[in-house]
């Protein structure tokens, strides 16, 4: 009986841990394209003007791609996207 209760307790504790898949999203300003991208890894930001590659700003992390898209639409440095653009 103790083994069953211990197993049930472990299953209940592991449930919420497995629901979090660890996927995060960041909104970044891409210097090369002069657009804002959504990436799934923590970006390295080069804020100095001498760099003409990489990212110049980053915002996040966000728990879902939809949250990141909403954030991208509110960032003034990001150009407005077409509604059909799902990038």
Position with higher pLDDT, 85 vs 35 = 35
**27 within a domain of the structure (yes/no):** yes
**5-32: average pLDDT:** 67
Helix (H) or strand (E) holding 57: strand 55-62
Give pLDDT tens digits for 19-73: 445 799 999 998 888 899 999 998 888 766 656 668 888 999 999 999 999 999 9
Tokens 């804020």 belong to residue: 47
- 5, pLDDT greater than 60: no
How many domains, the chain? 1
**12 within a domain of the structure (yes/no):** no
The whole-number pLDDT of residue 63 equals 96
Instruction: Note down the domain range covering 33.
Output: 22-81
Residue 78's CB is within 10 A of a number of other CB atoms, namely 19
**9 within a domain of the structure (yes/no):** no
**17 within a domain of the structure (yes/no):** no
């Amino acid at each position: 009986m103790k083994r069953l209760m211990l197993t049930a307790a472990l299953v209940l504790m592991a449930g919420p841990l497995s629901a979090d898949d660890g996927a995060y999203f960041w909104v970044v300003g891409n210097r090369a394209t002069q657009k804002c991208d959504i990436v799934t890894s923590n970006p390295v930001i080069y804020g100095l003007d001498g760099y003409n590659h990489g990212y110049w700003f980053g915002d996040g992390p966000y728990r879902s791609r939809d949250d990141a898209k909403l954030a991208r639409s509110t960032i003034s440095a990001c150009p407005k996207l077409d509604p059909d653009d799902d990038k």
